[in-house]
Structure 1
Amino acid sequence: MRRSKWLVTVVCFLITALVIGGCSGGAGGNTNGNKPNTDPAPTDKPAEKVKLKLWGAVPAEAGPQAVVEAWNAENPDIEVEYIRFVNDDPGNLKLDTALMTGQDADLYMNYQLTRLQKRVDAGLAVDLSTLTDYKVDEQMGPDAAQWKIADKYYGLPTKKNMAFIWLNKQKLDEAGLPVPPIDWTWSDLQQYAAKLKKDNVYGLLQHEAAYTATLDGTIAGLGVTKADGTSNFDNPLWKQNFEILHNMMFKDKSTPEYSEQLTSKMPVDTMFLKGEAAMLTAGEFIFRNANNLKDYPHDFQIAFAAIPRVNKEQTDFKYPGGLGDVLSINAKSKNQEAAWKFAQWYADGGMLPMASGGRIPSSKSVDSKQAIDLMLKGVEDKYDRESLNNVVFGKFESFQLSVPQQVIDARKEEFEKYFLNKQDIDTTLKNMAKRHQEFIK
């Protein structure tokens, strides 16, 4: 009997404890009686802000910072940070390293087709054909196709692109020289440079990015290989172009010797804007400095000429241009959907703050006149508008050089020897063709 009473007492105690525990306000209990628990479940928590990193070669203060600030204000759920790299070999290596890790680069700009090709080969660019909500050809026009790789887009060509000759119109007028015609030649340029040079003033300076513009336009017209499939890097037009430039360096003294430009790292755009050169071979990227009268004051008007062909008989010359600033998405990015949303916004008008630096959007969604007005705002009197319209916004048969970067590098190694007087012109052409032919094989 005592044992039975003891068991009954224990059972009652346990039942009472369970009831009290189930109704208590403990950590796992419901303090609202029969009301449901209104605390949000873990899956209801607001999504974390997506953070993207965009790499480009334009200084942040020349437009990119204004672009990302405008985006971030409109899109609080996706924050973009701009990271600048220098568009040279070390700078592109830095970008490629970031792309490989997949941690520090979600979006990035490509400025040469050869570099984009290497990134595609390395699996570092998203194939945009898998994204069907944007028609690149329709938005950007027929020149966009020059950026296709294996008939696919791996980035959005976002701006109108061109290299040309910047001219100090005051110096032209003083020398009695007109603005050159569109179809002028390197012999014409040589004569202009000789007449324009003075003490402490070069007739011509060349930006490194535009140094081979005539070479590339020539081979784009001729074809990189001959009819028999062998290299065309020993063509006589290249020889003529090289010899004229060599004479300008060492005989006319109208342009710097190559070694001097390399070792001193000449700030050629700054020198032109200071009046230390009458002509400058460069691209539209110089507008960001030319429009900055505070840091680069100048009182002369700037006119424009096309890149010269080698000679008058050259009828198949193509002009460096088309479209540029190809915005790609890193295939290793964990935020590709957000990156794609930004890329479309940027291309279709978000990039307008870049116009003041000469970057005119290529998308049909953007009014080109509005972009040009932004580019010249406040400095309209500093440009010869007629030559600007004829050259910078003219219609030319353009190209994107589709030669592998290894071949471009080999070509540069050889022609540098010629301009450093370490080998003659015939050996230079022979070696360029030989190294290209080895790559073809």
Structure 2
Amino acid sequence: MLAGCSGGITEPTGSKGPVTIRFFTHGTESLYNWSQTLPAFEKKYPDIKIELVQLSEKGETLEANRKLDLAASSGEAMDVLMLSDPAGFAQRVAIGMAAPMDEFIAKEGLKVNEEYKVDTKFKGKYYALPTKLNPWYVVLNKDHLDQAGLPVPKDWTWDEFMDYAKKLTKGEGPSKRYGAFFHGPTDGGFMEFLKLELGNQPKNMEYLKADGTSNMDSPLFRKTLEIFMKMEKEDKSLTPYADRISQKLAYRPAFFNQNASMVLMGSWFTAELGGTDQFPLNFNVAVAPYPKNAPGDPSGYAPFITDYMAIAASSKYKEEAYKFIRWYTTEGQIVQGKQIPAWSKVKSDEMDKIIDLILSKTKSPEKVDKDSIKKVVASFKSGEQVPPVTYQAEINKAIQEEFEKLVFGKQDIDATVKNSQDRVQKLIDTNKK
């Protein structure tokens, strides 16, 4: 009397057979190494089988989220969900798709903030545990640094970053080499570039605070705009924003073609730093930590991304789902060997091996200063995460539009700050109704 359920097998009551849990993910084989990772779990826990449900062949978050919602609304059996963006995670918790795992955490006596470098607490509860950890860092053309007589920074400030950018800028006209390249904030870019001085804080790293009020009156937002304008207009050390938009410039070609000496980027870039078929590496590369605002500030804080592993609210096997999540977010990350783990208990030699393995899959790993990457990753600290709101995209758009008026000379910094504050406040008020 075996009943099939959407590909998963339900055992008859009283049977001691293995439980099959269905795991929904955007993760592809090439980036997540499932064929090696899942059998390692099943070997350790023979009473739990994992059925992998891959939601996007290309690993696209949007497509995966769409298919996940469809599966949930049609009542498909689901036990473990992997969500890759904070907005998508927050949205699905809000509609009740994920179950809190606090009872399992309490039973195990687990201290989440000691076990992981990312605290995923959401509205006072744990709905997920983190997997990989991709903090932002600064990628450097080491040959350019050597020519300018500049050491690889081990700890530095935004003032020093701007000074480096100025010293690394060379030439004029179409062949000009810029000290730095920012892939954002608009036109497919990252909003992190309008949070430069907010991103390295233990708290209030976002446009909104944890209680949903505006953080736009933070002096760090104004200072971020000042950095952007000083570099672009005064020092002329930053690839011009207008060029980036009109010529559709992107960070990979800017860095690998040596049009810019420094690129601020997320550490997922580690997997390409040694060069790829599309972008071979013809110079030496090093990495520096995300800059601090003042010399006395604590170092190590930076923006970051992770994947969220959640228990489906509809799961009949919540305990088994939790077992898998705990294994996957710890030992499983080492077995997988594809990402830098968020697990605090990874020993430094294991972390070194993971970074070596990631780089070994690039074309010229010998040209990358591995130690500089290892140091940045080892010293990273996660600030308190502020879950995004449902109208996050509208907030981003308003701030981007005001920034564009500033960069194209239509308004000054005072007006940009004031208009950004007013527009964000208006969105907060509208969404309260």
> What TM bracket, shorter-length normalisation?
0.7 to 0.9
Deviation for aligned residue 1:206: 3.2
Q: Which structure has the bigger radius of gyration?
A: 1
Q: 1:434 and 2:422 equivalent?
A: yes
> Match of 1:60, as an amino acid?
E
Aligned equivalent of 1:360, options 338, 341, 344: 341
The equivalent residue for 2:368 is 383
> Match of 2:301, as an amino acid?
Y
The equivalent residue for 1:157 is 130
The equivalent residue for 1:326 is 308
> Match of 2:180, as an amino acid?
L
Deviation for aligned residue 1:72: 8.0
Deviation for aligned residue 1:315: 4.2
- Unpaired runs of 5+ residues, structure 1, are 1-41
TM-score (norm 2): 0.73
Please say if residues 286 and 373 of structure 2, whose CA atoms lie closer than 8 Å, have aligned partners that are also in contact: yes
Deviation for aligned residue 1:203: 2.3
Residues 48 and 387 (structure 1 numbering): CA distance in 2 closer, same or farther, change over 3 Å? Answer: closer
Residues 271 and 405 (structure 1 numbering): CA distance in 2 closer, same or farther, change over 3 Å? Answer: farther
Distance in 2 between the 1:150 and 1:382 partners? 45
Aligned equivalent of 2:31, options 31, 48, 62: 62
Distance in 2 between the 1:343 and 1:381 partners? 35
Deviation for aligned residue 1:292: 5.8
> Match of 1:360, as an amino acid?
P
Residues 230 and 96 (structure 1 numbering): CA distance in 2 closer, same or farther, change over 3 Å? Answer: same
Residues 172 and 396 (structure 1 numbering): CA distance in 2 closer, same or farther, change over 3 Å? Answer: same
Deviation for aligned residue 1:85: 8.1
Residues 347 and 368 (structure 1 numbering): CA distance in 2 closer, same or farther, change over 3 Å? Answer: farther
RMSD: 4.1
Aligned equivalent of 1:240, options 223, 227, 232: 223
Q: 1:399 and 2:371 equivalent?
A: no
- Unpaired runs of 5+ residues, structure 2, are 1-11, 184-188
Distance in 1 between the 2:23 and 2:76 partners? 9
Distance in 2 between the 1:309 and 1:347 partners? 29
Count of aligned pairs: 392
Distance in 1 between the 2:109 and 2:245 partners? 43
Residues 28-427 of structure 1 mapped to structure 2, 5 A cutoff: 50=20, 52-56=22-26, 59-68=28-37, 70-71=39-40, 74=43, 77-84=49-56, 90=62, 94=66, 97-98=69-70, 100-101=72-73, 103=76, 106-132=79-105, 134-137=108-111, 140-141=114-115, 143-144=117-118, 146-185=119-158, 187-198=159-170, 199=175, 201-207=177-183, 208-209=189-190, 210-217=192-199, 221=203, 231-250=214-233, 252-258=235-241, 260-261=243-244, 266-291=249-274, 293-294=276-277, 296-310=279-293, 315=297, 319-320=301-302, 324-333=306-315, 336=318, 338-356=320-338, 358-362=339-343, 364=345, 366-377=346-357, 378=360, 381-394=366-379, 396=381, 398-402=383-387, 404=389, 406-407=391-392, 409-419=394-404, 421=408, 423-427=411-415
Residues 400 and 258 (structure 1 numbering): CA distance in 2 closer, same or farther, change over 3 Å? Answer: farther
Distance in 2 between the 1:175 and 1:413 partners? 39
Deviation for aligned residue 1:59: 4.9
Deviations 1:357-382 (A, max 9, x none): x4224153x43422321321447633
Please say if residues 135 and 266 of structure 2, whose CA atoms lie closer than 8 Å, have aligned partners that are also in contact: yes
Residues 162 and 212 (structure 1 numbering): CA distance in 2 closer, same or farther, change over 3 Å? Answer: farther
TM-score (norm 1): 0.72
Distance in 2 between the 1:352 and 1:401 partners? 28
> Match of 1:406, as an amino acid?
Y
Residues 124 and 394 (structure 1 numbering): CA distance in 2 closer, same or farther, change over 3 Å? Answer: same
Distance in 2 between the 1:430 and 1:218 partners? 23
Distance in 2 between the 1:136 and 1:212 partners? 36
Deviation for aligned residue 1:349: 1.3
Please say if residues 204 and 386 of structure 2, whose CA atoms lie closer than 8 Å, have aligned partners that are also in contact: no
Please identify which structure carries the higher helix content: 1
Distance in 2 between the 1:263 and 1:125 partners? 42
Distance in 1 between the 2:303 and 2:222 partners? 23
Please say if residues 107 and 327 of structure 1, whose CA atoms lie closer than 8 Å, have aligned partners that are also in contact: yes
Deviation for aligned residue 1:352: 2.2
